[in-house]
Amino acid sequence: MTGIISTDVLIVGAGPVGLFAVFELGLFDMKCHLIDILDKPGGQCAELYPEKPIYDIPGWPSISAQGLVDKLLEQIHPFKPDFTYNRMVSSLEKLEDGGFRVITDENEVFEAKVVVIAAGGGSFQPKRPPIPGIEPYEGKSVFYSVRRIEDFRGHDLVIVGGGDSALDWTLNLQPVAKSVTLVHRRPEFRAAPDSVNKMYAMQEMKQLAFRVGQVTGLTGADGQLSSATIKGGPEGDIEVPCTRMLPFFGLTMKLGPIAEWGLNLHENLIPVDTEKFQTSVPGIFAVGDINWYPGKLKLILSGFHEVALMAQAAKRIVSPGERIVFQYTTSSTSLQKKLGVVE
């Protein structure tokens, strides 16, 4: 375990609303650390639709989702937030001094006076493929990522999917696996053409097998696979040896461990008040798509409003007793100093 990372405010989720929270909290001198399960900031905007235009950001008749993320990063730059990527927050506990201890799935420990949940639709997690009866094999012989190449040595490996992950692991695991079967529902791939060409070349050499179709059944016992049934290809139903399977069906969003933090939930959303956007636990706030209150709209602009109000309440917790002065960035020299626009 590494040392404890201390911050004023820990923000769970680095999507547009989590990013703008840094700005509003920064104006009140609160230092922020953001944790995100993705490998980059921007949340859904960056992961799902970076090139799609958004038309309802005030002042921007049209801006691409990635463009908005880039502008937000520029806007919060003066506050020098810290980011931890590729991590899911796994547990949260309240400390006696009123703060919170948060631990990630890689056992990093954070302590913060305030926690802001800006987790959108939840954390991005690998999508379970539409194969009946796959659950008992997960984590035993079906894996959604490759942690160690050695784990696949000597196995009859079936890789399912048509994107870069599927093709890259097909090429990289072929030298160690006993056999590799790549299954994709059509002969066209989303993956880089170069990888696809390499894969076809290896098939020519009989170093691997590419099957068009969909995996419809699994055989095995005690979590250990022995074979997989592939349907829909030109050969009809076929059964291939399979002792390890790697399905790559993209990402989906799940609430994840947040559900176990002892917060009240409303249909997988976190109810908050509309004055502070605070959850049922004082000191934990929820903003953006993950919160719920009467009249809630899942709009980025609503999230921006929510963080401005939340910041006022957070300041009272981080600096108790300090007078909060409401100021405008256009006229306040002190705010402008924080933004680095005046000396």
Partner 1 sequence: MTKLTFIAHDGTQFDVDAENGSTVMENAIRNAVPGIEAECGGACACATCHVYVDEAWTAEVGEPEAMEEDMLDFAYNVQPNSRLSCQIKVRDALDGLVVRVPERQG
As a whole number of angstroms, the distance between CA 287 and CA 303 comes to 6
Name 320's Cβ contacts closer than 8 Å, sequence gap at least 6.
none
Footprint on residues 201-240 left by partner 1 (CB under 8 A):
214
| Contact letters for partner 1, residues 119-148 (x by CB under 8 A) | --x-----x--x------------------
Edge to edge, the sheet with strand 214-221 lists: 214-221, 224-231, 238-241
User: Which one-letter DSSP state was computed for residue 37?
Assistant: S
Binding residue for partner 1, selected from 33, 155, 184, 315, defined by CB under 8 A: 184
Is the Cβ–Cβ distance between 169 and 177 less than 8 Å? no
In terms of DSSP H, where are the helices of 48-120? Answer: 65-76
The one segment of 31-39, 82-90, 138-146, 182-190 that binds partner 1 by CB under 8 A: 182-190
Cα R_g (the chain), whole angstroms: 24
In terms of DSSP H, where are the helices of 117-241? Answer: 164-173, 193-204
Cβ closest to partner 1, residue 49 vs residue 85: 49
For residue 70, with 0-12 CB atoms within 10 Å meaning exposed, 13-18 middle and 19 or more buried, which class applies?
A: middle
The one segment of 72-80, 105-113, 150-158, 185-193 that binds partner 1 by CB under 8 A: 185-193
Binding residue for partner 1, selected from 62, 172, 252, 334, defined by CB under 8 A: 252
Cβ closest to partner 1, residue 155 vs residue 211: 211
Binding residue for partner 1, selected from 48, 146, 255, 265, defined by CB under 8 A: 48
The one segment of 48-56, 81-89, 262-270, 272-280 that binds partner 1 by CB under 8 A: 48-56
217 pairs with which residues across the strands?
Answer: 229
Binding of partner 1 by 62 (CB under 8 A): no
Task: Tell me how far, at minimum, the Cβ of 261 lies from partner 1, in Å.
Answer: 23
Q: How many helices (H) and strands (E) does the chain have?
A: 7, 20
Interface with partner 1 (CB under 8 A): 44, 48-49, 52, 121, 127, 130, 161-163, 184-186, 188, 190, 214, 249-250, 252-253
